[in-house]
Structures are given as C-alpha cells and as structure tokens.
Amino acid sequence: METQTKNLKNMWSDLLADQPKLRIRNAADQLGVTELELLNTNVGNGVVRLRPEFQNILGQVESLGNVMALTRNNEVVHERKGTYLNADLKNPHVGLFVGADIDLRIFFASWKHAFAVNENERKSLQFFAKTGHAIHKIFLTEKSDEAAFDNLVAAFTDTVQEQEVHTDPVAQTPVEKSDTEINIEEFQQSWRNLKDTHEFFGLLKKYEVSRTQALRLAPTDFDYAIQVENTACRATLELSSKKNQEIMAFVGNPGMIQIHTGPVNKVVEARGWYNVLDPDFNLHIKDTEITQTWIVRKPTEDGMVTALECFNKKGEQILQLFGKRKPGIPEQGGWREIIHEIQNTLKL
C-alpha cells in the first residue's frame, strides 16, 4: 500500500516537472485517480489529516473571520468571500450557513474526509466525498485569523496521519422511467399547485422523474419550462451586469450547494471558461459543457419565481440563476425583463 502511494507521488512530481502550473484536480484527471488520492500522498508535507467530525469542524469556522468558500462540480466553480455566520449544524443529515456572503446548504451523507492544507503558505480546509471528489474548500484570505486556523487544525488533527484512502465508485445516473409510466396530467397539475420553490424536489421524487424529464413534461398552458440555447447562461449574466440586476447563483455537488446573492459586475471569457470576476465573488463556467438550458417557472405564495437552469451531458443540474429575492417578497421586475428578453431571443 505504501509503495502505491509513493509511486503515485512520484508520478505527480514528474507531471508537475512538465506542467508546473497544473492544478491538483487536473493532475488527478491526467493520472486517472481522484483528487483525494493525490492529496493524500502529501500528508506530512503541508497536508494534515483531520478527524471526520464535520459538524464540529464547521462549527469553529466562524472564528477564522473572512475567508473564501469554494464549491464546484465538473463544469462550474463558485467562489465567495465572507464570514461563516448563522450556522445550523444540529441535524446530522443537513446543515446550513445563512449569511449575506456565505450561504450554504450542506448534505453530510456523502462526506468522508477532511484535511488542512498549506500549499505555498496558502492555507485551507478541504472536505472530500466518499468518491474522492472535493465537496467544499475554505481558503484563508489576507483578512483571516491565522491563529484561529492553527488552533482549529490542532484541535482536530487525527492521531493516524499516513493511511491509504479508499474511494467508492461514482453512482451511475439513474435510467429515466418511460413517459408512458408517468401520470403526466396529475404531475402537471401538481406543478401548477406548487406553493414554494423547495416543493419541486418533492414533486420529482413523487412522480419518479428526472429534472430534465420534468421540464420536458411541464404544463403547456403557461411558459412553465422553455428550453433555450446554451448561450443563455452567459447572455443572462451579461444582461444582469449591464442592467445592475442582483441575482442568486446556485452551484452544487452531492454534498453542498453554495449560493451567491448580489450583483455581478465584471464578466469575461478566458481560457475556455466564462467568468464573473468580482472582488468578493468569482464564478467560472465551462459553458461548452452545458448541453441543456431551461427557463423554469414555479408558482409560489409570493407569485411566480423564474430560474435559468443549466445541465451537463449526464442531465445533472450544474448551475441555477434566479433574481435576488427573499420569502415574502415578489420576484423583481428587472429579473423578469431579463428572462423575457432571453426567452424571446434564444428560445429553441
């Protein structure tokens, strides 16, 4: 086992010699391993294994002050600076941070590993899934409390540092039921009867439909689900920037959803990614990997709520955009105007 780890470390070192700017995630892809397996080769060399006491660790993160929270999937990276506030970590299955800057929904079922990482004096906490994929990372900024970070690491350092890691295979995408097996009329009426956007997940579960299947089978007496060109993502961000429209950007993976609420200002394309590059919020989208984009409308007690939803080739939702809103407040007219323009110009 130790030989395997040593060999992997040597292969990574050789790869970095040829590509010194290569990020660990991309190196793992090239070597045919997970990011977790690659990071594990550096335990004792800037990497410290932490006990997997996730709620307790997260409960101490507020003490770090201003940090950068990073959540990603294969196609989208969401980075937000701020302080972890208003934690709700009592539920062993679901946790929350609800602050103006750091806004998270945490799903602990897939969490397995925790590390503290010091890479060229850039310190972070990193959390990984059973599959070996990164769930969430917390990076110190120039405003962070480094002493609090060091105290947290000392408090949660595992007694056993060097050990092999084992990863579970990534779950296969479930096969969709045939449309003929679904009570479409009842499903559509249930959609019309929604009172809250959060009820939509229950709707999918009840009728055993995938999200993209649900959008395809949406009621047709109103524009509940309209497919648009995959350029709609960048067009929506550009219009939001141009019109000073504050948005909500949701990016997630099986263990985490991270939300930005606020403006988007600087939007640029660079090196195959479409980006929001603002001082406290960065969003990086590999939009060539978006294979479906939908405008989705859901009735709520506050009126209709509209989202732009983007999907990858597996049918996984990789990004959701809303207009800035809170429960009890109707959707902003400026956001509806942007989506109306997108629908008129980019509808398939």
pLDDT tens by residue, 297-325: 999 999 999 999 999 999 999 999 999 99
**Among 141, 153, 111, 151, CA closest to 129:** 111
pLDDT at 300: 96
Global model pTM greater than 0.85: yes
Q: Return d(Cα 224, Cα 217) in angstroms, integer.
A: 10
Which of 10-19, 76-85, 149-158, 178-187 is least confident?
Answer: 10-19
Mean pLDDT of the 328-333 span = 93
Give the per-residue pLDDT at 271. Answer: 87
Q: Per-residue confidence at 120, pLDDT binned at 50, 70, 90? A: confident
Confidence of residue 339 (pLDDT cuts 50, 70, 90): very high
Place of tokens 């006990």: 51
Task: Tell me what the mean pLDDT of segment 264-290 comes to.
Answer: 96
pLDDT higher than 80, residue 217: yes
Query: Alpha carbon 183 to chain centroid distance?
Result: 32
**Per-residue confidence (pLDDT) for residue 247, from 0 to 100:** 98
Q: How confident is the model at residue 347 (pLDDT cuts 50, 70, 90)?
A: very high
Q: Provide the 3-class DSSP secondary structure of residue 54.
A: helix
For residue 40, is pLDDT > 80? yes
**What does the pLDDT read at residue 164?**
86
Per-residue pLDDT tens for 244-257?
A: 999 999 999 999 99
Q: Side chain identity at 193, as an amino acid letter?
A: N
Q: E-strand spans in the chain?
A: 47-50, 65-72, 76-82, 87-88, 94-98, 103-107, 111-119, 122-129, 134-144, 225-228, 247-253, 256-262, 267-270, 273-277, 281-285, 292-300, 303-311, 317-323
pLDDT for residue 267 is more than 50: yes
Give the pLDDT mean for 193-197. Answer: 95
Averaged confidence pLDDT in the chain? 95
Domains in the chain, start-ordered, CATH in brackets?
2-83+112-156 (3.40.1570.10), 182-346 (3.40.1570.10)
Tell me the helix, strand and coil percentages in the chain, rounded to 5: 30, 35, 35
Model confidence at 126: pLDDT above 60: yes
C-alpha distance from residue 6 to each of 1, 11, 37, 252 (Å)? 9, 9, 11, 33
Looking at residue 1, what is its pLDDT?
Answer: 45
Predicted local confidence at residue 142, as pLDDT: 97
